[in-house]
Structure 1
C-alpha cells in the first residue's frame, strides 16, 4: 500500500526561497511524525485488542493522520471525537445491506479519467487520490484505497481538454484525495491550467488540510493559487475540538489572501450528533475562523459506516434546534448527496403547514403556526 504524500521530496521540488523551504519543512515534518502506515498504529496508546482490531480495519482503508491532528486526541476517552474520525474501528468491517462502493455516483458521471461532470456548469477534478488525513467515514474510501495515485501533469491533460471543450463549465472543483496535500509547484500548475480556459471563472478547493495539517497553509501555497480565478476554499471541520490556534492562523492566511471560506461537515453519530456540539462548531467557525457553515451532510452510504450514521429525522431535529439558537449566517444547510448522481438535496423540515388560497400557514421558530396572507400587485 502506497502511503507517501505528494511532497516535494517525493518527486517535485518547488521551494524558491529560504522562508518557503523552512515552511515546507515544518508541514512535511508534521506528516512524517504522524501515522502514515498501518505499522505506525503500534506507536499509539491503544490496548493490544484495540491495536489488533485497528490494524485489521486499516488493511481495508488507508490510515494516515498528521501529528498536529493526533495531538488533539484525548487517549483516555475511548469516545473522543477526533479519535473516532481517524483511528480504524472494527465496526468498519461490518458491511450493511444497502451500502455502496460509489455512494454518490462519481464513476457513472466520469467521461474522462480524473473528472466527474454531474452538474452542467461545474465539474469535479481529481489532481490526486492521496490525502493528508484519511477519514474513516470517507465516501470515496474505496477509490482512495484502491487507486492511490498521485499527481502528474500528464494525468490531468484529458480532463483539462474536456473542460476546455465544454463552454458551459464555469466552476472547477478540486477534490480527491486532498488537493492541498500537493506541493506548491503542482498547485500552481493546476491553477494555471484551469485559468487558461477562458470560460472557467471560479476555482473551488475541497480540503481537510486547514483542519488536520494547518502548517501546510503557507505563503507559497497561497501564491500558487492566486491568479485570474475567484478562489473558494471549502474546509471540513466536524467538531469544535478541531478549532485551534493553528487552524485559526491557517484560515486567517487564506482569508487575507482574498479567498472565500466555507465549511461542510458530516453529521456523525458519536462525534457531533448533539445540538450542543453543532452549535459550538458552527458558532466558532463563523465567529473565530471567519468560515461560513455551508453544508451539514447526512452520512453517505459508504461501506462499514452504519455505526456513524444518524437517521434523517434525527438530523432534521438537530438543524431545527440550531435555527432557534444561531444567527442565520451560522446555520448550515442540511443535505443528502443522493446515490446514483442525484446530487445534494436539502433535508430540513418544511415550516409550511398548509395553504388556503393566498393564505399560508407557517410555523415560526417559537413553534406557533401563524397565518401569512400574500399581498402582491395586480398581474
Structure 2
C-alpha cells in the first residue's frame, strides 16, 4: 500500500497527517481492493450492518501494517476492521460500563476519583478501534464537545479545589488543532490547584505523523505534562512510531502506555513480554494492562481474568520491574480500576508472613516484635506531630562555610555577644567568658 507513495512527493504526502485523515478508509470496497479479497454476499451484509452501528475508520498508515498474505488473522487488522461478532450483545454488556456519563457533574467531565477528573475534549479519533470502550460515542457528531462545554468543564475544575490531576481524553486530544489544544492546556495550567495534566492519545500508534514539531512545541510549553499512549501489539511499534515517541520524550515529556488485553491479539505471554520490552527500549513505561471492558459488542475480545494473571506471572521476576504494567479491571458501574494479579502472599499470622517468589520459592518474613503506634493516635483531625509535608528549603551555609561561598555577600563573621557589647549592654557580660 505504501509502495504507491514511494516517490519523494508521494512520501511527503504519506507522512502528512492531514493527508492521512483526508484519506481515512471507511469503505469495505477499498479494503477488498487493497488486500485483493472478496467477501461473499452474506459476509458483506453483516459487515455493512456492523458498520451501520459501529462506524469504520482506518488510517492508510495503520492499514499498511497489516500482513497482506493473511489479513484475517493479523493483530492489526483485527483491531481495525469490523467483525460481525460486534453485533452480538451479551446480557452483561453495557452501553456505559464505567458510568462515565453518570459520574459527570457537568457535561464533558467525569469525576470518579476524589482528586482527579477526566475532561472530554474531543470526540474525533484518527481510527475507530474495534475494542473501544466508548463505542457508544463513535461517530456521534451530537456528542462532540463544543468550546462552551469545555469552558464549563474548566469552570468546574476551577471551582473544585480538591482536583489536582486533569486527564484530557476523548476521542483523541491530538486530533484537535495545535492552537485549540494549546488554549485548553493553557487554561488548565492557570488553575492553581492543578498539579498534573495528562493526555491520552493513540496517535503514535495509528497516526504517528501527527506528532509534528509544531505540536511538540505546544506541549513543551506546559510543565508537568504526562502522555499515555496505547500500543497493544509489537507489530504496532514501527520506525515511524519510534520517531514520534522520540520527539515526545526528547522534549522532556514522560511517556506511559496503556494496553488492553484482547483475545487472539495479544493474549499470549510471549507477545506481551515482547511488547513491554519494545516499549521500554523506546522510553515508554508500561502503565496499565486493562481487562477488556463490558461495553456492547466486545464479548469476542474479552479473555478470562485468569489469562491476564498468567501473563503477569510471565512478567514479574522475568523482566525489569519498570517493564511490568499493573493489570487492572475497570469495575463495571463506575467502581474504578481494581488491580489484580498473582498471589505472592500465601499466608499471614501475628508474627510472620509467608511469601512466594516468581520461581515458586516459599519464604518467611518475620514481623517486628516491638512495632507500635508509639506517637500516632490515628486522630488525624487533631494531629500535633510535626508532619513536615512541604518540601524543605535547601540548607543555608553557616559559619566559615558561608564566608567561603560564592553565592553569599557576607564578608565578616561577628560573634553575637560582641554585637550586644556594641549596643552598650556591657553589664550583661563578663569579659573573660564572652570572647
TM-score (norm 2): 0.78
8 A contact 1:295–1:334 mirrored in 2 = yes
Question: Could you tell me how far apart the structure 2 residues matched to 1:221 and 1:193 are?
Answer: 17
Structure 1 pair 93–362 and aligned structure 2 pair: CA distance change class (3 A): same
Paired position in structure 1 for 2:198: 204
- Are 2:340 and 1:347 equivalent residues in the alignment? yes
Structure 1 pair 187–37 and aligned structure 2 pair: CA distance change class (3 A): farther
Question: Could you tell me how far apart the structure 2 residues matched to 1:270 and 1:190 are?
Answer: 38
Between 351-360 and 40-49, report the one with greater CA deviation: 40-49
- Are 2:261 and 1:267 equivalent residues in the alignment? yes
Question: Could you tell me how far apart the structure 2 residues matched to 1:257 and 1:184 are?
Answer: 16
Paired position in structure 2 for 1:168: 162
TM-score (norm 1): 0.89
Per-residue deviation, residues 285-316 of structure 1 (Å, max 9, x unmatched)? 001x1100000000100111111110011111
Structure 1 pair 86–285 and aligned structure 2 pair: CA distance change class (3 A): same
Greater relative CO (CA pairs within 8 A, separation 6+): 1
Between 203-212 and 153-162, report the one with greater CA deviation: 153-162
- Are 2:294 and 1:323 equivalent residues in the alignment? no
- Unpaired segments of 5 or more residues in structure 2? 1-11, 373-435
Paired position in structure 2 for 1:34: 24
- Are 2:80 and 1:86 equivalent residues in the alignment? yes
Paired position in structure 1 for 2:173: 179
- Are 2:65 and 1:75 equivalent residues in the alignment? no
Question: Could you tell me how far apart the structure 1 residues matched to 2:295 and 2:179 are?
Answer: 33
| Residue of structure 1 aligned with 2:357, choices 353, 356, 364 | 364
- What's the CA shift for 1:324? 3.6
Paired position in structure 2 for 1:310: 303
Question: Could you tell me how far apart the structure 2 residues matched to 1:376 and 1:356 are?
Answer: 13
- What's the CA shift for 1:277? 0.4
Question: Could you tell me how far apart the structure 2 residues matched to 1:97 and 1:350 are?
Answer: 31
- Unpaired segments of 5 or more residues in structure 1? 1-21
- What's the CA shift for 1:156? 0.8
Question: Could you tell me how far apart the structure 1 residues matched to 2:339 and 2:221 are?
Answer: 33
Aligned residues: 357
8 A contact 1:130–1:148 mirrored in 2 = no
| Residue of structure 1 aligned with 2:272, choices 272, 278, 300 | 278
* Corresponding residue SS for 2:266: coil
- What's the CA shift for 1:281? 0.2
8 A contact 1:282–1:293 mirrored in 2 = yes
Structure 1 pair 24–159 and aligned structure 2 pair: CA distance change class (3 A): farther
The structure number with the bigger radius of gyration is 2
- Are 2:235 and 1:244 equivalent residues in the alignment? no
8 A contact 2:234–2:274 mirrored in 1 = yes
* Corresponding residue SS for 2:273: helix
Per-residue deviation, residues 15-52 of structure 1 (Å, max 9, x unmatched)? xxxxxxx8998111122233146675554434223544
Paired position in structure 2 for 1:48: 39
Paired position in structure 2 for 1:14: none
